């Protein structure tokens, strides 16, 4: 279940990605690649792929129902595999799932595909839950 009110703000708005699906252990983040995401060669910058993988993986481990306290985490490690070029006009979907963990740390894996189902990249990460300050 998606709770859009808890999935937007700051960096998401700056970069332009959207949380398209979010439920226990799963998240999908989408991005329409524009000129602002391009490197000097005109293709999507690798940092954007890394951002999509990091974001989708983080959300996959931090779902909380709308009536429950929010969960947050930060990235301990992230491994990205750049498989194909994404170009301006591509619509990318990063699909991540939580693969394990415990009370303080979780693991997640992600694949990023374009609108034609072509694999653009994949990655996995380790994340630490944090306590929110009120």
43-69: pLDDT as tens digits: 999 999 999 999 999 999 999 998 999
69, burial (CB in 10 Å: exposed 0-12, middle 13-18, buried 19+): exposed
What's the domain range around 17?
Answer: 4-130
Name the strand (E) or helix (H) holding 120: strand 119-130
Q: Average pLDDT in the 27-49 region?
A: 96
Token representation of residue 24: 């226990």
Q: What is the CATH number of the domain that holds 112?
A: 3.10.129.10
pLDDT at 3 over 70: no
pLDDT confidence band for 2 (50 / 70 / 90): low
Name the strand (E) or helix (H) holding 91: strand 91-101
Instruction: Identify the bridge partners of residue 78 per DSSP, sorted by sequence position.
Output: 125
Q: pTM of this prediction?
A: 0.92
Please count the structural domains in the chain: 1
pLDDT at 92 over 80: yes
């Amino acid at each position: 279940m998606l709770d859009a009110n808890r999935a937007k703000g700051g960096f998401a708005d700056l970069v332009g990605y959207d949380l398209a699906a979010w439920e226990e252990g799963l998240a999908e983040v989408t991005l329409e690649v524009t000129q602002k995401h391009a490197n000097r060669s005109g293709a999507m910058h690798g940092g954007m792929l890394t951002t999509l993988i990091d974001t989708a993986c983080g959300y996959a481990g931090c779902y909380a129902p709308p009536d429950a306290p929010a969960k947050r985490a930060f990235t301990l490690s992230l491994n990205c595999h750049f498989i194909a070029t994404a170009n301006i006009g591509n619509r990318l979907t990063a699909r991540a799932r939580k693969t394990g963990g415990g009370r303080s740390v979780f693991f997640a894996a992600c694949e990023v595909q374009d609108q034609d189902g072509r694999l653009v990249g994949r990655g996995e990460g380790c994340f630490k839950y944090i306590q929110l300050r009120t």
